[in-house]
């Protein structure tokens, strides 16, 4: 009896498979939630094994404390988060000693002498939520950025945020003389409004 020859395996429609794979890819891209990390873009200071602790006038320090209940206290007074940025701005450019020609705030004898001497000291409780910590940091850094942007715009016609981005952009090196031109301007604004933000270790209960 003659054996029947087996037929060739059925061909798979590769075009249809590709369409299905593409549709699955689109489905997962649309439905998948990608988590966004929260953080702060900050350049940490250089490590010094035995740093010298300068003597600081008490009125040149603005103490910001976030307690375990995520309440915000500025110099031991309860402050809302929405008011923190303006509080920091008023403190930084208080111009208590009258040496700051670019400061706009009135002279308060109980606040800082000048932007160069103003220090913001941030303290967090060990149970402070990370979200509150980030929000407070954002408001304090925002106060410095506002003052820097305002002064840079007045002097050089662009904000410090824009100038600093261009200065640090690797593509700027391709333009001859651009980085060298921006460097003294960036350093001048940083000198006029130094970011003196001190952060202590979280308090443990």
> What is the mean predicted confidence (pLDDT) over 51-78?
86
- Minimal CA–CA distance to 134: which of 66, 182, 195, 194? 66
Q: Is residue 26 part of a domain?
A: no
Sheet holding 119-124, edge to edge: 77-78, 72-74, 61-66, 119-124, 197-199
User: Could you tell me the two tokens for 12?
Assistant: 């798979």
- Per-residue pLDDT band at 52 (split at 50, 70, 90): low
Of the candidate ranges 42-46, 55-59, 162-166, the one whose mean pLDDT is the lowest: 42-46
Q: Is residue 20 part of a domain?
A: no
Q: Is residue 14 part of a domain?
A: no
Which is more confident, 26 or 134? 134
Q: With beta carbons less than 8 A apart as the criterion, state whether 108 and 94 touch.
A: yes
Q: Report if pTM > 0.85.
A: no
Mean pLDDT of the residues in the chain: 84
- Minimal CA–CA distance to 62: which of 92, 40, 38? 92
pLDDT of 37 > 70? The answer is: no
Q: Is residue 10 part of a domain?
A: no
pLDDT of 43 > 60? The answer is: no
Domain span at residue 84? Answer: 60-199
Torsion angle, alpha carbons of 188, 190, 193, 196, to 10: -150
- In the block, tokens 């059925």 appear at 10
Q: Is residue 32 part of a domain?
A: no
Q: Is residue 7 part of a domain?
A: no
- Per-residue pLDDT band at 121 (split at 50, 70, 90): very high
Q: Is residue 38 part of a domain?
A: no
pLDDT in tens, 72-111: 999 999 999 999 999 999 999 999 998 999 998 678 888 8
Domains identified in the chain, total number:
1
Of the candidate ranges 83-92, 125-134, 161-170, 182-191, the one whose mean pLDDT is the lowest: 125-134
> What is the mean predicted confidence (pLDDT) over 148-173?
95
Which is more confident, 32 or 69? 69
In whole angstroms, what is the distance from residue 140 CA to residue 122 CA?
A: 9
> What is the mean predicted confidence (pLDDT) over 186-200?
93
Q: With beta carbons less than 8 A apart as the criterion, state whether 153 and 124 touch.
A: no
Give me the pLDDT at residue 150, please.
97
Q: Residue 123: enclosing H or E segment and its boundaries?
A: strand 119-124
Q: Is residue 104 part of a domain?
A: yes
């Amino acid at each position: 009896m003659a054996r029947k020859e087996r037929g060739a395996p059925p061909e798979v429609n590769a075009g249809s498979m590709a369409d299905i794979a593409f549709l699955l890819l689109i489905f997962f891209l649309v439905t998948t939630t990608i988590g966004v990390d929260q953080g702060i873009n900050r350049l940490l200071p250089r490590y010094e094994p035995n740093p010298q602790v300068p003597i600081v006038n008490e009125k040149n320090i603005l103490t910001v404390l976030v307690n375990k209940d995520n309440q915000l206290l500025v110099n031991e007074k309860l402050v809302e988060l929405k008011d923190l940025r303006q509080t920091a701005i008023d403190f930084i450019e208080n111009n208590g000693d009258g040496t700051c020609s670019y400061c706009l705030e009135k002279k308060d004898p109980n606040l800082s002498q000048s932007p160069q001497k103003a220090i913001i000291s941030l303290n967090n409780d060990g149970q402070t939520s990370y979200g509150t910590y980030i929000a407070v940091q954002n408001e304090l850094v925002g106060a410095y950025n506002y003052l820097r942007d305002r002064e840079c715009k007045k002097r050089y016609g662009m904000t410090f945020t824009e100038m600093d981005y261009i200065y640090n952009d690797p593509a700027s090196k391709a333009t001859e003389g651009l980085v060298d031109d921006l460097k003294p301007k960036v350093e001048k604004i940083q000198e006029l409004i130094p970011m003196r933000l001190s952060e202590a270790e979280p308090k443990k209960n």
